[in-house]
Structure 1
């Protein structure tokens, strides 16, 4: 009877451990077409999460499914999207069939539109519902795992951090590999580097997202030009591909008001198994002994259970830390709440269309005191003047602010940021400890100082306006004039107090940097589109004039009397 109870307890606690630590589940499988051939570059994602994967040349994939993931979504250009419920399975195979019904869909290609059945270049198109499938924070995140040959990466997990897109790999060794973005016909000429003011520390790699002013819920469709046609239309700027973004307009019918509220929580998926305080202290004592024996040094044991007669500082022994470890991971990381509220009103009539939207987004980081807040207002209006003239505007204003913690860095030593501090700061210490203190074993700023005393704040304001008027000169001859404005200001305030390794040698240091970007675009486009029964021809002639100005400022100071 006792053995039975013992086994029952073991099973019970094993089940509890499985619940506590089973944050993700590995799922594998193969994707094939209707001819039983493997489908390479098919996108596999977990519905309503950001987890995604791409199949290899054998059609195989592997994906880590979060504990709240229930359904896998399989997509591929030209194939029907299918969903498979995971259940208890660890292997999920899928068969994708051709989507023949999409051949009459209209695709935007540069200065015009064509049917998919008439398309000769390499163009991928996704609609709003595909972009919003995983509730993305940004437009780029909505593209992740959706289009073959398009790679979406984020080097920094900080809230509001920059996201990079590569279309069919990198085409340059020194320049930017980002594609050209065209929003409602207006080229967007800025990038992540341009919207990220200079940092106080040269090794910091945190960047801002240049397209953060776009609310994914305002997107109607996205087309990606991936071959030489992009260069033919947009010149050398399109050498890395072109991403065409079309925003939503009002649609005919009754006026529609939509309210969307999304709440998310992010947690650390895996905790690192680090040394406890007693083991840490014993290892440092052992290191001092080894150094004295092999190198001839005369180091005192850092943990010796004695008081320094000169300073009066007591150095505890390893045994005194038994059961008293400080877990810096759990002191710094937390469950992070994110909230996205979008309110929109739209409609259309004989005189034109209207669409208004307001978006509020707040993302708390899993690192304490890190966050990102974005507020966006957008107006999209068109008006018919008579039967031959249409005027329209799509104008948005975005204000964003973020508090960032130093994470992205190339320094692996003293000023390497909070991630290294969390993993290397002694578990024998339970409170902020000045660098270079008596123990002589601290080589980084303590984690609590990084999150409570270091300032790294970004403030951005952005205006984007795409305007046009279109005149139907003849039945098959149209003239369109586009006017575009893109204006942004970015400010960065930083401060490292003297209690950090970065500011210790100079009694603290601070900086304020900023950047301003402004571009104006004017395009005149004449389109002639004759048709003969089942045949059609489109001739486009255009003239584009662009001007842009970028300016930056930077000021730094050090040697403060106090923090």
Structure 2
């Protein structure tokens, strides 16, 4: 009996062993990488053997390893917010898996700096936008396409110039110094905007010369953009993050069959409007009516026989139509991508060409990008990526009274562009009276003056990811960025022999060569583990960065035979020189995030920066931040909520820095050489260094809520914040005991750059709102609406003294050297200051009321029809019955009250349609062009049609003042020129059609789409200038919203196609 029982037990054990042996002996290991459709690695994705119990989760790099039974043929891949996927592993040892996102912003993966995270896990203020949301936009740089798409981010085109500069402000103005964010492309920090040759280097005033930093990157190569908006998100970037961080992720290859895509579009661009200036008939009537007025005031002026009978005249020269043209825009993009399980690749070629709406202006770019990613071992992944580009921008100088965009408004319609011999002229003679202007022929200037900015740029990185374990990985990166700027400005000597007019003189050539090489080494460990209800993610790393720049320039004049060569003329010593310098920084950083039960999360980060920008006393800076989140809907008490699907509360605080200070501010680095009689040659320091100079500090407090309801049909995100900037880097007047002249003459041996110090405080408070509604979601029809709203209030609390003020750059581009933008405590940065108008003088009693108007009462002084100004204050701070400089006061704020954008997207079967509205409310513009189109300071200059109804004895109730060539009373900087800059713009309309697969499969096409789009369709505004979108002069926040011959943004119609094989 015992033997039978023992035998049965043994047989049973053998059977169990036979059944369980495969589980131990017949296993295999599968590895792979999980990413989203944009190639961004997905952390914490779940990988499970189908039909089994074993599973693994992916790390921060999207990598996983899983031991599974030998006979497993399918893996189940899942990730919160992504569509689950079954992946065949038959005959494979590794896989590359791409998951598609479900339509919900709360489920998307965002890049947060040195890693990625699910939106639902983030407790900081991060805004994201995908490539599909920026399609069909014909722009040179992707920064232009972001306008109105991101809450809390204000984007303004500073110029309609092809390739022109763009200002990006993340949650307002952070400093009186640089305000552009840090751009990071695939981990590589990118050098900021490039400056070209300004107009003043050819003898005129300065013009708008910035070039967009993103103009060197092909927009079609971008997969996603994430913008870090508060300090708790930015602190990991430390002293580089005060103005926000823009993280750009480019497209990379995916495993599977290779793809070939070709994107092409062609467009036509035009100026949406022309300004109403007088034609020749109107000008003749105006001229004839002024003759008796001028003579009555005691001056002589000739009548012009050709103008005596305006009815016999035509329209004359329309200078605006001569300057503006229909521009063309073309783009061609060819991309190859694909790969196998272990190797993926992406390669693209791009050609972009744009001729501007102003003659002579254009921009073209050749660009190429490639990336290769290799899974070398199961524990090692490596890759390389690089972007190469060369752009050529030909600039029409604008934003100055002597530039073509201004001259065409006041040049006489009686003057032709060319004389009878076909050559350019500057003026025409009518019976001994010359009609034209002293600033030259604007058409000749636009076409013959050749100003170029040529940029060659290459940047990229090499990386290696080492997976030490399931939870721990190390990333090593080598980043580089090389930039060569070759700028030139050539003005030929142009003489019209028939008239003797020097249309351009003298001949002049300026060449500027600037190289900058940046390199960076970055190494950081990532630890990521979930156990039970707990999840921990931590990053700790080290980074070293350095750059070297070298700038040389030379100016020559009186070129022989107009040869465009620096050896063909006489060198101008004051405009020929060079300089070079170095910058370096070493950093240590760390971030840790703890999540409990998907309900509570807390995150903290710290960074230590040591930078050469500062002296030894304050070279080291520490920047830290923390945030916390509570997902309320994961609580037990919220499980029965039917209306609310998702609710998360977020808070955060932290500090970051701004090191926007050149090295010479810390040291006396330069010597100014002079010969001073009778002592002979010598030198003096060119600047006063400050070894105690330190970082600007920006502290941010942020509170936010993320909400989803109505079965996730409505998603809402709201953030409120306060930013406090302290220790701003400001210049100080040198004390008298140093023996320095605080206002020395230019190029004098006493000229010395003042020292800088840390002083001043600024605040920004605001709210960001993002709302997305999925109105209709059906198989053959969908309708989605996205709304963003941003509001902020800027206040300069103090500068380095109670009476200190900072002036804008208007003196750089105005004939009278006056300034309207003034920054001082108690107001927003760049506020407008001037006189306050109080109507016109309409009877002599008003003129003789005892007030000192600053001018004698009479036709050549202040008289009937002149502007009356309010007596605001005097030397003792009270009205003193005298109009003078003490009456200059605040007259407007160039900063908007709020901005917004509304996008509606529709799909119907194969069609897609969208329209985008973008608006700005509450901003004010100083319309400087009206100072010379309504100034009426010379009978020989053309004017706006508004002056036809000016004040005269026959029209005493007019609102436009009288003609006044005798003084500047009517052209003082005043609220007369302040206009409401609010606008609502139909920014983009797009209609596309995706051809059915059955139509295109015979041509071996995988996808084919044809589209038609229109940009800058129509603008609803009260502003009377070309375009209410003005921006900043030279990207300087101290000089905002001053329209002085601005290059208007074009209206664009494009037709394009996207083809994939």
Offset of 1:319 from its aligned partner?
4.1
Distance 1:176 1:210 in 2: 14
Question: Tell me, what secondary structure is at the counterpart of 1:191?
Answer: coil
TM-score by length of 1: 0.74
Answer yes or no: is the 8 Å Cα contact 1:122–1:225 preserved in 2.
yes
Give me the whole-angstrom Cα distance separating, in 2, the residues matched to 1:498 and 1:441. 22
Q: Does structure 2 retain, via aligned residues, the 8 Å contact 1:230–1:239?
A: no
Match of residue 365, structure 2, among 370, 374, 396: 374
Q: How does 1:315-334 map to 2 (within 5 A)?
A: 317-319=308-310, 322-334=313-325
> 2:480: which partner in 1?
485
Partner Cα separation in structure 2 for residue 254 and residue 321 of structure 1:
74
Matched, 1:454 2:449: yes
- Which piece of structure 1 moves more, 202-211 or 282-291? 282-291
1:336 aligns with 2:327: yes
Hey, what's the Cα distance between the residues in 2 that align with 1:517 and 1:299?
58
Query: Of the candidates 294, 319, 326, which is equivalent to residue 291 of structure 1?
Result: 294
Deviation at 1:536, TM superposition (A): 1.5
Contact 2:168 2:181 in 1 (8 A): yes
Q: CA deviation at 1:137?
A: 2.6
Secondary structure at the aligned position of 1:440 is classed as strand
Q: How many Å separate the matches in 2 of 1:320 and 1:107?
A: 68
- What is the alpha-carbon distance in structure 2 between the residues aligned to residue 212 and residue 134 of structure 1? 14
Partner residue in 1 for 2:555: 556
Q: Tell me if the contact between 1:251 and 1:346 (Cα under 8 Å) persists in the aligned partners.
A: yes
Q: Tell me which of 456, 459, 462 is aligned to 1:464.
A: 459
CA distance in 2, matches of 1:549, 1:538: 36
- Corresponding residue to 1:494 among 484, 489, 510: 489
Question: d(CA) in 2 for partners of 1:494 and 1:321?
Answer: 43
- Give the secondary structure class of the aligned counterpart of 1:474: coil
Q: Given the alignment of the two structures, is residue 475 of structure 1 paired with residue 478 of structure 2, yes or no?
A: no
Q: What stretches of structure 2 of length at least 5 have no aligned partner? A: 1-80, 82-101, 419-423, 496-501, 563-1061
Matches within 5 A, 1:157-556: 157-173=160-176, 175-188=177-190, 190-192=191-193, 194-196=194-196, 200=201, 201-294=204-297, 296-301=298-303, 303-305=304-306, 317-319=308-310, 322-409=313-400, 412=401, 415=402, 417-432=403-418, 434-435=425-426, 438=429, 439-443=433-437, 444-499=439-494, 507-556=506-555
CA–CA separation in structure 2 for the residues paired with 1:196 and 1:481: 36
1:134 to 133, 137, 146: 137
Kept in 1, the 8 Å contact 2:252–2:345? The answer is yes
Greater length-normalized contact order (CA 8 Å, ≥ 6 residues apart): 2
- Counterparts in 2 of 1:357 and 1:263: CA distance versus 1, 3 Å: same
Mark the runs of 5 or more structure 1 residues left unpaired by the alignment.
Answer: 1-77, 79-98, 306-315
Cα offset, 1:492, TM superposition: 1.7
Give the match's secondary structure for 1:211. helix
Aligned residue for 2:175, secondary structure, equals coil
In the superposition, the TM-score normalised over structure 2's length comes to: 0.40
Tell me the CA shift for residue 397 of structure 1: 0.8
CA shift, 1:498, in A, is: 4.5
Quick one: structure 1 residues 324 and 164, their matched pair in 2 at CA, closer, same or farther if it must change by over 3 Å? Answer: closer
Mapped partners of 2:269, 2:133: distance in 1: 22
What is the DSSP-based 3-state SS (H/G/I as helix, E as strand, rest coil) of the residue aligned with 1:331? helix
Range with greater deviation from structure 2 (452-461 or 354-363) = 452-461
Equivalents in 2 of 1:420, 1:273: separation in Å?
13
State the alpha-carbon separation in 1 of the partners of residues 312 and 514 from structure 2.
50
Note the C-alpha offset of 1:437.
6.1
| Cα distance in 1 for residues equivalent to 2:183 and 2:485 | 20
Relative to structure 1, the CA distance from residue 197 to residue 462 in structure 2 (aligned partners, 3 Å threshold; closer, same or farther) is farther
Distance 1:104 1:541 in 2: 26
Show CA shifts across 1:474-498 (max 9, x none).
Answer: 2211111111110111122212345
Name which of 114, 130, 155 aligns with 1:152: 155
**Per-residue deviation, 1:105:** 2.4
Query: How far apart are 1:133 and its partner, in Å?
Result: 4.7
User: Which residue matches 1:5?
Assistant: none
